Amino acid sequence: MDLEQARDNKTYAENFVTDFEELVNQFTTNFPKDVAELNKHVHKLTDFLALETSIFNLSSEQIDAFFMRLLKDYRKNSPQIFNELVIPTYLLNEELDTEIGIFKGKHWSDFEEDIRHQNRFHSKMVNEEQLIKFFQLCTVKLQPGSRYVRARISDTGIPLPGNEMGKAPEEKASSGRLNAVGIGYLYLCQDKEVALSEIKASVNDVCTIATYEVPCDSEIRVVDLSQITNVSYFMFDNKDVYLMNQEDLLELDNAMKTTSDRNRSEVAYVPTEYISDLIKSMGVDGISYKSSLVPDVRDVVLFAEDKVEQISNELISYQISGIKYRERKISCVNA
């Protein structure tokens, strides 16, 4: 794009300059400097945009050069907003944060504590209307003809038949990342090895893998949670809604990517199960997200298993003969 043209010719890129002027207007240099809660949000404008948002795929210096070209007159009239420390204006308005924040002025960690240990079924902490707006912007269609796999461990050591590879029956459905106990959904994965790792298959386990295909004449709509932190700023009329919720959306994204351990309690997944139920209430078919083990691989959870077709001649069983470990060094805490 010719930035000078965008700046000087209003018909060249309609509203382009206005959009970025509105973005800059969401920040202020006038704030109390002695409030610790505010200090952690203090940055130079371009540093904040580079570090705290996904609006730009640029460095702070590159964003500054971009503004230098596009908002030449704005910079000349208000140089302080680009040169001094700033904070988002919504931080100075507690009432606004409560009104349009997805956790009503609280954070994902507060929501986790509330729904796990205080208000399991009637939490008042979520602004569902605002959260659904973000989910709607992440709704995509699964590609017709695309294939996914489902892996299951045989309790008896005998390979499982195809009719036992669907979602878990209600009486056997244990709690999972996106389903509460007693509710069975169809968990699928793009990759066979990742699917086996996700079910925590051990040496000598007999595992069956079924392949499912998205019918060519179907339209399966899922909320892609891997896009939740990349929702476009320009999709919002009220730009405060975008800026004030970025931190909490990032925490939600991290919760989806957290690997469960062998000692996971039943309440561990309650927050993401709530998110799943909220998405289901939108009328979509399921949820897509990055595998917690291999980020390049996508997992899909379908609320109804009849949306996809099992490929009968691709039902394969294996006995696990070995496991390859990958380690990541962590720092030790001194006693």
DSSP per position, 251-315: HHHHHHHPPP-TT--TTTTHHHHHHHHHHHTTT-SEEEEE-SS-TTSEEEEESSGGGSEE-GGG-
pLDDT tens readout for residues 216-264: 988 999 999 989 888 888 888 888 888 888 888 888 888 887 766 555 6
Between 22 and 40, the higher pLDDT residue:
22
Residue 327 confidence (pLDDT) above 80: no
pLDDT tens readout for residues 255-306: 887 766 555 667 888 999 999 999 999 999 999 998 888 888 999 999 999 9
pLDDT tens readout for residues 130-167: 999 999 999 999 999 999 999 999 999 999 999 999 99
pLDDT tens readout for residues 179-206: 888 999 999 999 999 999 888 888 999 9
- Each domain of the chain, given as residue ranges in start order, spans 3-92, 139-229+235-319
Sign of CA dihedral 5, 10, 15, 21: positive
Task: Report the Cα 10 to chain-centroid distance in Å.
Answer: 36
pLDDT tens readout for residues 67-101: 999 999 999 999 999 999 999 998 888 888 788 88
Residue 12 confidence (pLDDT) above 80: no
pTM: 0.84
Torsion angle in degrees (nearest 10) through CA of 286, 287, 288, 291: -120
